[in-house]
Amino acid sequence: MNKNAKLPETEEGTILFNTDPIIVKYHYEIDYLHSYAQDSPFFAGLAKGKLLGSRCSGCGYTYATPRGHCMECGAATDWLELPLSGRVHTYTTCYYGGEAFLKETPFTLILVEFDGVNTLFLSRLVGAEPDEVAVGMEVKARFRRNAKFTPTDVYFVPA
Amino acid sequence: MRPVYMITGGITKFAKAHPEKDFRLMVKEAFDYALADLPGLSRADIDGTVCSYFSDHFTRQLKAGAMVQDYLGLCPKPSRRIEGGGATGGLCFQSAWEAVASGRMEACLAMGFETMSRVNTWKGNEFIALASDTNFDYPVGGFYTGYYAMMVRRHMHEFGTTVEQMAKVAVKNHQNALFNCYAQSPASLTIEEVRRSPLVATPLTILDCCQMSDGAAVALLVSEKTAQRLGGRPVRVSGVGCGTDAMRMADRPHAPVILLPHESAAEYANMKYPGVHSFRGGRMAAKLAYEMAGVTDPGRDLDFVELHDAYTSSEIQTYEDLGLCRYGEGGRYVDAGTPFLPNIDYGLKFPETSRWPRLPVNPSGGLLACGHPVGATGLMQAVFAFWQLQGTIARHLGDARLQLPSPRRGLIHSHAGTGTYITVSIMERV
């Protein structure tokens, strides 16, 4: 037993923004071991210059996104290679955003529609000024040479 | 199921930041207001609670609901947390309704909060965007204003909706909030000011978007027996409905419209629905709530609506989902002056006659002007609707201008994501 036990004093301090009330800076960070699980072939496809959607093995409904099972009937889907050209279904240019994307502003988001596919695909449009984009505009897919295994491995440019 | 009544409620002032109060104290303030507003009510009358808050990230605390429960002195009574994005408050209200309707509780407190000021706005936008698919949507440039901008761009393309019509919604809701002492950003605006304000995501400007807020709200729901025992002026919750849609808006189908009783399939023969221009979940929520409450022609059967106007555009889209006008007519509904209060000067000119009966929408100022502390928002709507139906707006706001003459029936609408969870509840004067 030591009645004079002490916690060690350290050089670290706290960043204060205010004292009444006391507002302190609190840092928080996480590294996840995130699995794309059944959607992995989509990301592998992007690295090979392919855009993979899903076709329902039961009702034939087609999705421009990976979806292991059909939202309409519940049956398993098969991978479907999507065309690499489509049209702008809708668009916006973001001048503000979440912290992670602030440095990329302004950037243009589009939903792409493909012939013969029932649903849409969210992507970035590059190579067009905000006032050059329009609903119905023809666009084509491009792929990053060095894949990052994120959905931005594919992006679209004016066709 | 048995009848459910709201007998009291409370709200804190919604503000950009309340650093002097944590979430427990904010809920406590709203709770104390509700207790004080119904003499004879005590904590002993409350059988349990449902707590709503959207984001553990904002709170920097898991299981924050348990801390509210103990701070309010309600342990060891039952409690649970409800979370469903922007619709968290509306889902909480309906969860409390279920507790009473089922007979499990005689009195259930719905209590909600959000403390969004604990991070900077750009970080807050990131947290909110994490409520979109984090594999496929968030990494592309996750930003809810961007998602809503794409949805309204398609609405404009399909139906001819204009940015001026959207701006009129901002003018309306900010002007209404001038008479609401709980509102965060009341203002007298012009269409030009809304359009000249900084662009956030084309075509939406900053005045087309609601702000982040700190705030809390509570609503007490009880059985008929308890309402009779505690007195006051109860308001009946006569209908509840909820609907959903795909998390990724790209996955939304293009199918036939879900019809309300006053509509026919022929009206929508060529419409691909919901696409990204409409909210199928909102239509489903409305349909279920109307069926329960016996509403057959909402534009006529309702006296006011408090809806989830996170964006001016989503207010216009929601008129249509709720069946106040047909799909595609939302912009013209605004131009007709239908959702404006008749006794307030907005500096806008409206035609002498309208195809639609006057139906004030967001007399409180809505999310655009009251603010949107997510977990509290749906309950704030319930409290305003309760005060409207009680006829006590003047007492609570210190100003009678937002009080409708003698409303019988109101609707509250809470909305999450790009339409992933949506609730509609109908409240009626007894």
Report ipTM for this prediction. 0.96
CA–CA gap between residue B34 and residue B37 (Å, rounded): 5
Strand arrangement of the beta sheet that strand A62-63 belongs to? A62-63, A52-56, A77-81
User: Within the 271-300 window of chain B, which residues sit less than 8 Å (CB to CB) from chain A?
Assistant: 276
Going by C-beta distance under 8 Å and a sequence separation of 6 or more, which residues neighbour residue A17? Answer: A23, A24, A25
Model pLDDT, residue B309: 98
Amino acid making up residue B63: K
Query: Nearest Cα to B60, choosing from B8, B125, B116?
Result: B116
- Contact yes or no for B126 and A98 at CB 8 A: yes
- Beta-carbon contacts below 8 Å between A and B: 128
- Contact yes or no for B149 and A150 at CB 8 A: no
Residue B197 to residues B28, B144, B171, B173, B176, Cα–Cα distance (Å): 37, 19, 13, 16, 20
CA–CA gap between residue B412 and residue B9 (Å, rounded): 15
CA–CA gap between residue B241 and residue B238 (Å, rounded): 11
CA–CA gap between residue B209 and residue B66 (Å, rounded): 32
Asked if B246 and A71 touch (Cβ cutoff 8 Å), the reply is yes
User: Within the 59-78 window of chain B, which residues sit less than 8 Å (CB to CB) from chain A?
Assistant: 60
Angstroms from A97 CA to nearest CA on chain B: 5
Q: Which residues pair with B110 in a beta bridge?
A: B50, B219
Angstroms from A11 CA to nearest CA on chain B: 26
Cβ count near B20 (within 10 Å): 10
How many whole angstroms from its chain centre is CA B232?
25
What are the tens digits of pLDDT across the range A41-67? 999 999 999 999 999 999 999 999 999
CA–CA gap between residue A65 and residue A55 (Å, rounded): 10
Chain mean pLDDT for chain B: 97
CA–CA gap between residue B227 and residue B229 (Å, rounded): 5
CA–CA gap between residue B255 and residue B42 (Å, rounded): 51
For B377: left if phi > 0, alpha if psi spans -120 to 50, otherwise beta; the answer is alpha
CA–CA gap between residue B58 and residue B231 (Å, rounded): 38
Of the residues A40, A71, A87, A90, the best mutation for testing chain B's interface (the one with the most B CB atoms within 10 Å of its CB) is A90
Cβ count near B351 (within 10 Å): 9
> In terms of CA atoms, which chain B residue is nearest residue A113?
B250
Q: What is the DSSP string of B231-274?
A: -S--EEEEEEEEEE--SSGGG--EEPPPPPTT--GGGGTT--EE
What are the tens digits of pLDDT across the range B81-94? 999 999 999 999 99
Of the residues B21, B61, B143, the best mutation for testing chain A's interface (the one with the most A CB atoms within 10 Å of its CB) is B143
Q: Of the candidates B139, B153, B198, which has its C-beta nearest A90's C-beta?
A: B153
Asked if B151 and B276 touch (Cβ cutoff 8 Å), the reply is yes
Chain mean pLDDT for chain A: 97
User: Within the 181-220 window of chain B, which residues sit less than 8 Å (CB to CB) from chain A?
Assistant: 198-204
Measured between beta carbons, the chain A residues lying within 8 angstroms of B128 are: 98
Q: For the CA atoms of chain A, what is the radius of gyration?
A: 24
DSSP character for A90? E
Where do the domains of chain A lie? Answer: 37-158
Model pLDDT, residue A156: 98
- Contact yes or no for A90 and B198 at CB 8 A: no
Query: Nearest Cα to B380, choosing from B3, B21, B99, B26?
Result: B26
Average pLDDT of span A121-136: 98
Q: Calculate ∠ Cα B307-B308-B311, nearest 5°.
A: 125
Model pLDDT, residue B14: 97
Measured between beta carbons, the chain A residues lying within 8 angstroms of B150 are: 90-92, 109-111
Model pLDDT, residue B81: 98
B6-18 burial, b at 16+ Cβ within 10 Å, e below that, comes to bbbbbbbbbbeeb
DSSP character for B344? S
Angstroms from B284 CA to nearest CA on chain A: 17
Written as six digits, the tokens of A152 are 């931005």
> By a Cβ cutoff of 8 Å, what residues of chain A touch chain B?
18, 21, 23, 26, 28, 36, 39, 63-67, 71-72, 89-102, 104, 107, 109-111, 118-124, 130, 135, 150-152
Q: For the CA atoms of chain B, what is the radius of gyration?
A: 20
Measured between beta carbons, the chain A residues lying within 8 angstroms of B202 are: 92-93, 95, 130
One digit per residue, the tens of pLDDT, for chain B of length 430 reads 999 999 999 999 999 999 999 999 999 999 999 999 999 999 999 999 999 999 999 999 999 999 999 999 999 999 999 999 999 999 999 999 999 999 999 999 999 999 999 999 999 999 999 999 999 999 999 999 999 999 999 999 999 999 999 999 999 999 999 999 999 999 999 999 999 999 999 999 999 999 999 999 999 999 999 999 999 999 999 999 999 999 999 999 888 999 999 999 999 998 999 999 999 999 999 999 999 999 999 999 999 999 999 999 999 999 999 999 999 999 999 999 999 999 999 999 999 999 999 999 999 999 999 999 999 999 999 999 999 999 999 999 999 999 999 999 999 999 999 999 999 999 999 9
Asked if A93 and A107 touch (Cβ cutoff 8 Å), the reply is yes
- Contact yes or no for A21 and B20 at CB 8 A: yes
Measured between beta carbons, the chain A residues lying within 8 angstroms of B253 are: 71-72, 118-119
Measured between beta carbons, the chain A residues lying within 8 angstroms of B204 are: 92
CA–CA gap between residue B100 and residue A102 (Å, rounded): 46
Of the residues A34, A63, A92, A131, the best mutation for testing chain B's interface (the one with the most B CB atoms within 10 Å of its CB) is A92
Asked if B351 and B315 touch (Cβ cutoff 8 Å), the reply is no
Q: What is the three-class DSSP state of A153?
A: helix
Going by C-beta distance under 8 Å and a sequence separation of 6 or more, which residues neighbour residue B102? Answer: B1
Angstroms from B311 CA to nearest CA on chain A: 15
Model pLDDT, residue B188: 98
Model pLDDT, residue A64: 98
> In terms of CA atoms, which chain B residue is nearest residue A65?
B251
CA–CA gap between residue A3 and residue A18 (Å, rounded): 36
